[in-house]
A and B are shown apart, each in its own frame.
Chain A
Amino acid sequence: MTRQQMNKIAVGVITAVAALVVIPTVLVIVYIFVQGIGAISWEFLTQPPTNGMTEGGIMPALLGTVYLTFGTAIVSMPLAIGAAIYLAEYAGDTWLTRMVRLAIVNLAGIPSIVYGLFGLGAFVLTMRLGTSIIAGSLTLGIMTLPVVISTAEEALLAVPERFRVTSYSLGATRWQTIWHQVLPQALPGILTGVILGLGRAAGETAPLLFTVAAFYLPDLPKSIFDQTMALPYHLYVISTQVPNMPLDIQYGTALVLLMIVLALTLVATIVRTRMRRRREW
């Protein structure tokens, strides 16, 4: 076999394998879409489940996910943006900075179920918040930190240095420079990171298991100290715990969840591309 033939074979194999990875991805999304679209309707999205959850809609779970996503945003945004500003604008090449980066890498690597345990031990029990929206939001918020910090830091570092130097030379302090020049220009990138993080948080189940999720609630939550249903957990429950569960409702629920998460990812990507086109450098 000549080298050329070997090359052709190798390249062919590599391409085929890559297809093996990409095609199932598309297949998964398409399959869920096809199987689940039948169940989707306005009623499905706005009615609660009935008849032991074998009929009806997913509204409480959907609402719960919306609440939790908001809660996650509130918890994670200030901390994550603050930490990103710290890393990008203030931190020197010190031992402390290395520790911070190590901590972020580790936060990203902690299994989601361990976050659930932490949420249980710290928020539900020790802080006596009980299984509640606030306990769930705190847990999810902390879990979302690494993703938002990384993207936000990248966005801040992308702002060219000359804007900072110019600002300083016109008599601005460090914070004034950050507030008036760096942050506004990094905002789209930071926003991208937040939305990506929220997309990830919306799809998480394990952290919710012991901190907020309820199998079934007759009423909607009235305060952040109440429990709530949540879409990922709802999907888990109806597919494994409910007997005689119609398959199309299961797929429909999965589809709604998938669409929400993919929509958020899509929005984040759009923000990122539009920002790249419109920026001033």
Chain B
Amino acid sequence: MDFYYGLAQIIGVHTLLGLSAYIVLLTGQVSLAQAGFFAIGAYAAGMLTVLFGWPIVPALAVGAILGAIVACAVGFPALRVRGLMLVIATLAFGEGVRLFFFNFDYQIARGDIKVGPLGGEGFRQIRYFPENGWTTFEVMLFIWAIVAIVMAVLWWFDRSRYGAVLRAVGEDEVAAQSVGINLTAVKVSAMTIGGAVAGVGGGLYAHYTTHIEHTSFNILVATFAIAYPIVGGLASVFGTLAAVVFVQGFLVEGLRFLGDWRNLLFGALIVLAMNLRPDGLVDARVLGRLARVFRGVRRA
């Protein structure tokens, strides 16, 4: 059973990673910086619990705030460029963060061992959960409680005027500024929220794996982050969740029995999924059908 709990943890954390890219993608910006914010949240939260003995929730909160601050600071210069230039700029930032942690040492002696990040060796022994007696099941519940909160908040944003403005900017920047929308403010705010979400996700990631290193935040992770909302569709936050379940649950874990063939099939199935569902796994039609089902249930 622990295998499935572990898988649910991975799906939960990757959903946060995907959602951090989702909100930025709504404004039409392709950001490969999300793995960087994810790394900042992971290292910050891990250091706070391991080195300074903080409880998990405030540590995650600090990870989120740091992710948000860095995203906001990156957003101002980065969002002045568009399209491919933005992809390159955010990719460079993400790699910069990774290389920073590759060279980052901050260790404290705890008894006869030293704990804390140690450059290329990584940051081992992030043992908050086992030390406090959390079972895998409890950790999974904790992760999913946070995923649920984040999804609820983003869902609410999506249905508010803010969500409509994000989509308006994503659709036509010239028209958006011609009705009085401040493009910079809107894009930077989306980037900031995305940074906070990635920061929380990173903090959770550090604690359930108990060991992070710079390669945990490489370009592949950044690609996954942006791929989830694209494969899942931008109709709602559930698209991202569906894409994570599809990729991590089905493609990565479900097809493990295929051995080496899995890697071959992986790319093919993603291409197939995007061809069969060009507007994403969860598009407006699926949402409409779900809404009707729920309404029907309520009436019955």
Q: Are A and B genuine complex partners?
A: no
